[in-house]
Every structure is written in structure tokens, then in C-alpha cells.
């Protein structure tokens, strides 16, 4: 019989398991992560194998809010400014790593991606362990990220040791990744914190990373449901296509929320629902390209890209 992992709200038992080398799904404000202690090599390698992720795709290191920046990375003054303004929060900073960061986390790179998550349960957990946590999104490689404990269970099942249930994620799309290792800042993955937010704080312009594929593991096709995702710039175009599909007897799901924050919250659940219902086509209306809308457009474009 397959063992079903326990879903719990008991942070202490999650901390104990992690310290003993287990892999535990954890809530963050963006999406659920699949966590292990950074310095537990075997547990980190198990994460790669459960996800089906190539080992040269580096992992984000999640740290407690009172962590010692200098122990983990080399922070420029701009990186420090971003950290002090946006941490804890949905921002990942790419900086040069220190010798404290092991190779198995960075795929041998000289950089490390660091993030201080805001979710209170996640911070409580980080406060109980003597290390930081690697936590890629808790989904199989290339598939839709989980935003509830139930999503993790249906995706990874008995391959994880425990699922810590912190309720539905507040944001719904992964953190913004900013490369702070060069003279100019660059967004490697758009998220809730936008290029405009960063410009307002630092006075520095940066590219929003749209349509590009810079972070290792960020491929053209990602966040993909089995259903075909078609993209539309307006509701009218999507509705026209919907009536054509109805006439042809093709099953579809219409995806659009006027409120862009609600769109982010619901996006991955809707893509999962399309597969559960077995619809052939998702008709997704793209939100305006501002704020978190930029991140949504990025994820929808990747979800729509078919691997040949
Ligand atoms: O919101 C998030 O960031 C979530 C939650 C769980 O914290 N985590 C997440 O992790 O999205 P993951 O592994 O699904 O995506 C991390 C991305 C990958 O594309 C990876 O290549 C990039 O970050 N990354 C990590 N370390 C890097 C490094 N040293 N250099 C370049 N890219 C890096
Ligand atoms: Mg991911």
C-alpha cells in the first residue's frame, strides 16, 4: 500500500523531521516549496529526484528574517537596500555566494539565490532550525506550482515525508528574482515585486525579463497543464473563440479575473482544475502588463508553450 504523507499544522514536528534529513513541503506567501536543510546533501539530492529536476538547476535558499547576510552572500549596497525594503517578502536576490553555501545547492555556480519568506508559519519553522532551507516549488519539473497543501498532495503524494499546511498562498506566483551580481540589476523572473517597485526604491532601471529565459531551469515551456493554453489580449477575442469551440463541441475553460491579484491567487488552481475536468483548451485572457500582471503574462506564456 502506498503511504500517504501527513498534512499537518504542527511546525515543531516539521522542524524535527527536517533536522533528521526528511523532505517537507512548506507554505510560503508565493507558492508551496519542497524543503530540506541546505547542509543535508542527501535530502537535497532527494528533492531533485522527486521533482525530476536536473541537478545543475540551482535551488533558492530560504533564510530566517534575522539571518546574517554576510554568512551566505556578498551583498552590494543596492542588494542591501532591496533586502531591507522587501524582506521578508516575495523577492529572491541573486548574489555571489560565500564558502558556507554548498555546491549541491548552486549546481557549482559562484552565485546563490537567497530569499526571506514572509509566511508566518514558514518564518516560525526557519526559527526552529539551525540552518537555512532549500525550497524549489513543490511540483514535478515543468508542471504547475502548488498554492495549497492539497495541490502538493495530489502532485507529489507519498514522495514527500510531510506537508505543512499554512492555508492557501497569499500571492499565488513565485518570487521575483533579481540578479544583483553585476553593475546593472536584472530581473531573471518577474513576480509580485515589479521592476517599477525596484526602480522607485533604487532609482535604477532594469529589464523585466519577459520573453527571455535567463535563470537556469526557466525554459520556454513551464507551468504547463496537460490542456492546451491559448492566449488572448481581450475578453472579446476569447469569447469569440469560445463560441467557435462550443459549435465544434470542443471542451474549454475560460480564464480571466478582472482583479489582477485575484488572477494571481487563482491562476495555478484554475490550470489544475482544467486538467481535473479534462478540458481540451484553456482560453486565457492576458492581464495588463503592469505590476504583478507582468508576472502573470510570463507564466501564461510559458504555460501556453507546447513542447514538440
Ligand atoms: O517563490 C519562490 O521563489 C518559490 C517559493 C517556494 O519560495 N520557489 C521557487 O523555486 O520558485 P524554484 O526552484 O521553483 O525556482 C527557482 C528559480 C529557478 O529557475 C532557478 O534556476 C533559479 O531560481 N535560481 C536559483 N538559484 C540560482 C542561481 N544561483 N543562479 C541563477 N538562477 C538561480
Ligand atoms: Mg518552480
- Tens digit of pLDDT for each residue in 248-287? 999 999 999 999 999 999 999 999 999 999 999 999 999 9
The average pLDDT across 192-198 equals 95
The average pLDDT across 205-233 equals 72
Which atom of ligand 1 is nearest to 117's Cα? 7
- Which pLDDT band holds residue 212 (cuts at 50, 70, 90)? very low
Q: Is the pLDDT of residue 211 over 60?
A: no
Q: Is the pLDDT of residue 157 over 70?
A: yes
Q: Rank 4-13, 91-100, 195-204, 223-232 by mean pLDDT and report only the highest.
A: 91-100
Q: Is the pLDDT of residue 2 over 70?
A: no
The best mutation among 118, 136, 172 to test binding of ligand 1, ranked by most ligand atoms within 8 Å of the C-beta, falls on 136
- Which pLDDT band holds residue 216 (cuts at 50, 70, 90)? low
Predicted pLDDT of residue 60? 98
- Which pLDDT band holds residue 5 (cuts at 50, 70, 90)? confident
CA-atom Rg of the chain in angstroms: 19
Predicted pLDDT of residue 41? 97
The average pLDDT across 32-40 equals 98
For residue 137, report the distance from its CA to the centre of ligand 2, in Å. 4
Q: Is residue 27 within 6 Å of ligand 1 at its C-beta? A: no
- Which pLDDT band holds residue 56 (cuts at 50, 70, 90)? confident
Q: Is the pLDDT of residue 42 over 60?
A: yes
Q: Give the closest residue (by CA) to ligand 1 atom 32.
A: 215
Could you give the CA distance from residue 131 to residue 149 in angstroms, rounded to a whole number?
Answer: 24
Q: Is the pLDDT of residue 64 over 90?
A: yes
- Which pLDDT band holds residue 3 (cuts at 50, 70, 90)? low
Which atom of ligand 1 is nearest to 109's Cα? 29
pLDDT digits (tens, 9 = 90+) for 173-182: 999 999 999 9
Of 31-35, 57-61, 214-218, the least confident: 214-218
Predicted pLDDT of residue 213? 45
Q: What is the mean pLDDT of the chain?
A: 93
The average pLDDT across 113-120 equals 98
- Which pLDDT band holds residue 224 (cuts at 50, 70, 90)? confident
**Greater pLDDT, 19 or 54:** 19
For residue 166, report the distance from its CA to the centre of ligand 2, in Å. 19
Q: Is residue 34 within 6 Å of ligand 1 at its C-beta? A: no
Predicted pLDDT of residue 306? 73
Q: Give the closest residue (by CA) to ligand 1 atom 10.
A: 136
The average pLDDT across 158-169 equals 97
Q: Is the pLDDT of residue 58 over 80?
A: yes
All 3 cell numbers of residue 274?
A: 482544467
Cβ-contact 25, 32 below 8 angstroms? yes
Amino acid at each position: 500500500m502506498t503511504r500517504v504523507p501527513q498534512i499537518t499544522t504542527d511546525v515543531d514536528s516539521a522542524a524535527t523531521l527536517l533536522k533528521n534529513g526528511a523532505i517537507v513541503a512548506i507554505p510560503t506567501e508565493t507558492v508551496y516549496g519542497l524543503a530540506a536543510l541546505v547542509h543535508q546533501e542527501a535530502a537535497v539530492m532527494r528533492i531533485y529526484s522527486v521533482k525530476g529536476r536536473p541537478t545543475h538547476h540551482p535551488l533558492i535558499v530560504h533564510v530566517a528574517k534575522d539571518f546574517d547576510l554576510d554568512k551566505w552572500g556578498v551583498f552590494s549596497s543596492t542588494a542591501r537596500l532591496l533586502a531591507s525594503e522587501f524582506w521578508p517578502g516575495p523577492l529572491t536576490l541573486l548574489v555571489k555566494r560565500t564558502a558556507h553555501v554548498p555546491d549541491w545547492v548552486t549546481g557549482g555556480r559562484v552565485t546563490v539565490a537567497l530569499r526571506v519568506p514572509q509566511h508566518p508559519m514558514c518564518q516560525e519553522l526557519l526559527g526552529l532550525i539551525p540552518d537555512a532551507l532549500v525550497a524549489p516549488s513543490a511540483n514535478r519539473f515543468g508542471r504547475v506550482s502548488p498554492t495549497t497543501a492539497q495541490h502538493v498532495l495530489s502532485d507529489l503524494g507519498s514522495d514527500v515525508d510531510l506537508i505543512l499546511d499554512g492555508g492557501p498562498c497569499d500571492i499565488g506566483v513565485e518570487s521575483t528574482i533579481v540578479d544583483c551580481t553585476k553593475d546593472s540589476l536584472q530581473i531573471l523572473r518577474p513576480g509580485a515585486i515589479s521592476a517599477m517597485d525596484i526602480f522607485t526604491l533604487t532609482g535604477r532601471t532594469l529589464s523585466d525579463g519577459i520573453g527571455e529565459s535567463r535563470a537556469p531551469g526557466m525554459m520556454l515551456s513551464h507551468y504547463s497543464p496537460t490542456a492546451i493554453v491559448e492566449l488572448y489580449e481581450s475578453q472579446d477575442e476569447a469569447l469569440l473563440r469560445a463560441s467557435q469551440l462550443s459549435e465544434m463541441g470542443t471542451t474549454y475553460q475560460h480564464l480571466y479575473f478582472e482583479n489582477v491579484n485575484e488572477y494571481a491567487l487563482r491562476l495555478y488552481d484554475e490550470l489544475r482544475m482544467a486538467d481535473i475536468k479534462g478540458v481540451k483548451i484553456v482560453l486565457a485572457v492576458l492581464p495588463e502588463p503592469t505590476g504583478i500582471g507582468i508576472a502573470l503574462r510570463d507564466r501564461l506564456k510559458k504555460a501556453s508553450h507546447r513542447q514538440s
